[in-house]
A = this chain, B = another copy of it.
Amino acid sequence: MSQVPHPEFAQITEDALTRMEDAPQARLQAVLAIIIRHLHDAIREARVTEFEWEEGIRFLTRTGQTCDTHRQEFILLSDVLGVSMLVDALNHTGADGISESTVFGPFYAGKQPTIALGSSILKRPEEADALSIHGRVRASDGTPISGALVEVWQTAPNGLYDVQDEDQPAGHLRGSFETDGNGTYAFQTVVPVSYAIPNDGPVGELLKALGRHPNRPAHVHFMITAPGYRRLVTHLFIDGDPYLKSDAVFGVKSSLIVTPQPTGSGCLSIGYDFILSAEDPVAGLHGSQ
């Protein structure tokens, strides 16, 4: 049952695979078999020492222990290793014209109370340029999607999300909206800034040891949900940001880079339409929460 040719100590891998031949869940068994083969192959190829194995155990343990209700260090690890973007790519090979998705990230804080279209998501004033973001949520044939739930979140100008910063009111720079009969969404915020992902934990230490910077280019998170359509998790990035080419989590796609435009009122404005994919019934079961 193993596809391993004849690697060193193949019997150990074979035993681990054979032991789960009676697994009641075929999909779990299939995924675990692939993980075990690749994990064993990686350990063989790297000739991992016992000390390195111990370091790996300690790293994973600390990564789990760094997680709490407001921090998800394993998502961060997945993000910085390019795993999150690969999973995203495999699951969103949609037709042309569908809006591109990107990493969910570790800072979603649950559904916020729905507020009126055009409202501000600030819960305190910020010294930063005001920004209006608006557009329509549509199907690939152009039909407006009314009643779509548009959830947005971003950091404050200090580079921290509300859940990372006890000085910010809860829900600051987060909002939920429902599109109107024309599929329109609209809200007021401030121009986002580039920021460092949390780098005082195991993932930050790893990045430092790898000579990598922890910065993400400025962006606003979007999650858009509508019955009959695939959930869209994405960002809008601000053009000109110095980290667009080296996002610590590999999340940038060119179709998601936008340039705020000055308006008559002295405010900046971004217009962006999101095009949702019709729901694949199978993906609907397995591909979304």
Contacts and interface: CB of A to CB of B under 8 A. Distances in A.
Interface of A: 8-9, 12-13, 15-16, 19-20, 22-25, 28-32, 34-54, 57, 60-67, 72, 74-75, 78, 81-91, 209-212, 246, 250, 283, 286-289
Contacts of A37: 42
B23 A211 contact: yes
Contacts of A78: 53, 57
A48 B12 contact: no
B50 A288 contact: yes
A61 B41 CA distance: 24
Nearest to A60: B74
Can you tell how many copies of this chain the complex includes?
2
Contact of A81 (B8, B36, B66, B74): B36
Nearest to A75: B57
Contact of A67 (B46, B53, B65): B65
Minimum-distance CB pairs A-B, first 6: A64-B64, A16-B82, A38-B42, A38-B38, A20-B210, A22-B211
28 contacts: A9-B89, A12-B82, A15-B82, A15-B250, A19-B210, A19-B250, A23-B209, A23-B210, A24-B211, A25-B210, A31-B46, A31-B48, A31-B52, A40-B86, A43-B87, A43-B90, A48-B87, A48-B90, A49-B87, A49-B283, A50-B87, A50-B88, A51-B286, A51-B287, A57-B74, A60-B60, A62-B64, A64-B66
Contacts of A283: 49
A164 B41 CA distance: 34
Contact of A41 (B15, B31, B38, B84): B38
Contact of A32 (B41, B84, B210): B210
Contacts of A22: 211
Given A12-B85, A13-B86, A48-B90, 18 more contacts: A15-B250, A19-B250, A20-B210, A24-B209, A25-B209, A25-B210, A34-B46, A35-B46, A37-B42, A38-B39, A48-B87, A49-B286, A50-B287, A53-B78, A53-B84, A57-B72, A60-B74, A64-B66
